[in-house]
Amino acid sequence: MNALAGFSRRRFLKSSAAGVLAAGAAARAEAQERPNILWITSEDNGPFLGCYGDAFATTPNLDRLASEGVLYENAFANAPVCAPARSTILTGMYACSMGTHHMRSRYAIPEFIRPYPDFLREAGYYCANQKKTDYNIRMDDKAPWDECSVRATYRQRKPGQPFFAIINLGVTHESSIHKTQETTKHDPAGVSLPPYHPDTPEIRHDWAQYYDKIETLDGQVGEILERLESDGLAGDTIVFYYSDHGGVVCRSKRFVYDSGTHVPMMVRFPKNYQHLAPGKPGTRTDRLVSFVDLAPTLLSLAGVKVPGYMQGEAFLGGQQRPPREYVYLFRGRMDERYDMMRAVRDKRFKYIRNYMPHRIYGQYLQYLWKAPSTRSWEAEFKAGRCNEAQRIFWGTKPPEEVYDTSADPWEVNNLADDPVYVDVLKRMRAANRKWVREIRDPGFIPEGEMVELSEGKTSFDLVREPSFPLDRIIETAEMATLRDPALLPELRLRLDDEQASVRFWAATGCAVLGEQAKAAEGLLCGLLTDDCGDVRVAAAEAVHGLGERTRALDVLSAELKNPNSKVALRAANVLEALGAASAAALPAIEAVHETTTDDYVKRAALRLLSQLKPQ
């Protein structure tokens, strides 16, 4: 190397180092200019707060937070239960587009779908989560975070480093009413009961106890805000508060009614970042927002580019999108019970599509039945003491539901058959059909079949393969669950379809029709030996309704031993629906209860045993 070359190299290295230092300083300065963001989240509570007009609630701290920020009147959890809701929040993707919509399923998702903390950390944020994860995705739940524990806090960041932190408060969780307090602060006599709840001491007590937990939650929020103030960070921190879904007394959590999906949400912008706020302190907005929008909104506020694959839409920050016309909601398997609902909500109306209308709303769930209020409601129904609104929960479903939430906030008056609302029905039905196709919803594949088809790939990728007939599957599901006997000829043709999920829905349609599907009996009997377990189970339920009880129960008993636990669980669900007629399957039920390693199958079997062999 000659002297000139050496000089040039040294000058280059020196100038490069100076450039790196300058770039690093600029990056640090930019990072310091970015807002800190704190999410305070609670569990299982709807907007039972004074700032939402609930005079029975005792919530001075949350009411003050609302007066200092912007209150969202139309914020919704896309799923009415924790794990699918959090899966949606973490990714900015509808859980039912990734196959992570079934409760506690932990299926894989494509690698390109990344948790939002990844993007924040790459931009220089310190990300702390205290401590709830429950993401329902096959991953290391702590991996996206700098710290994820009961001790995680923004205080652990580097000096001057912006932070994003979550503090999750579990005091209002459903389990809080499983054990009955002897006395409550809130007087049970003062509770205003929903019209669907009978007036019993247990129900009143659970509601009053729940309001006590809301008051405790409010105190915890106050402590967090005081700590932020004492740390000198309140002037640089945007604070969100929201609940992870609705709840908690029966017919709220797990159900796509507003009682299960409408959540409190408020955002406080400090003076330094008031320019990012959509309104002055104390503003209320009726803008529709939902959990799928939280990740892109967070990135937008932090000045981080929102990935193009995210299905959510930022509602704050430099990348915010125009207001939504609809939010979209979904329900899949809830623990040990299969059900399937999709819903569309605008600012006034709610549309619900029931894809399992032959199942009652109030399917037994071991966890839900731990609440005294749930058991009390069931007892009232069995004793014949419920009125019409209170009986609905214990019956099968209509294919479609439409509610005017302004006039009927508890959603008990179904307007789907009212000619006055036919245009609303058609508009929102079309919106649902468009949505499930656009997101390529793999929820239309029965779970046992989805597990097998997704071996070596994700269900997200599966339904996007050009040859995969998802549109035909959805079309069959829509036909099958309308309870329209005029569609039986087409369903009969689809019983012989080459795609198992199409056969499953065609057989399910025959089960929904019951005796009106008699013309399909021969084809259904042929499906009892189908190569797909979910199809065999659906066909068995249909032929049982047509009088072939022995053959049906033999198939269902055999499927309880299926190594695919999701098929076994579906068989147990059908046996539960058949009631006392399932007694012939008792030996198989007892055997699976003793041998299964799947907790949900064990729960379903235990329930069957308690019903068929009462102590």
The catalytic residues are 82
Tell me the C-alpha distance between 506 and 482, whole Å.
Answer: 12
Does residue 446 contact residue 504 with C-beta atoms inside 8 Å? yes
Tell me the C-alpha distance between 507 and 520, whole Å.
Answer: 9
Encoded amino acid at 571, one letter: A
Does residue 352 contact residue 340 with C-beta atoms inside 8 Å? no
DSSP state of 171: T
| Closest to 340 (Cα-Cα) out of 573, 497, 180 | 573
Q: Is 419 exposed, middle or buried (0-12, 13-18, 19+ CB in 10 A)?
A: exposed
Tell me the C-alpha distance between 18 and 12, whole Å.
Answer: 10
Three-class secondary structure of residue 57 per DSSP:
coil
Tell me the C-alpha distance between 135 and 115, whole Å.
Answer: 10
Structure-derived torsion over alpha carbons of residues 130, 131, 136, 137, reported in degrees to the nearest 10: 70
Characterize the bridge pairing of strands 237-243 and 36-42.
Answer: parallel
Two structure tokens written together for 603 = 């729960």
Cα-trace Rg, the chain: 26
Q: What is the DSSP string of 547-586?
A: T-HHHHHHHHHHHTT-SSHHHHHHHHHHHHHHGGGGGGGH
DSSP state of 497: -
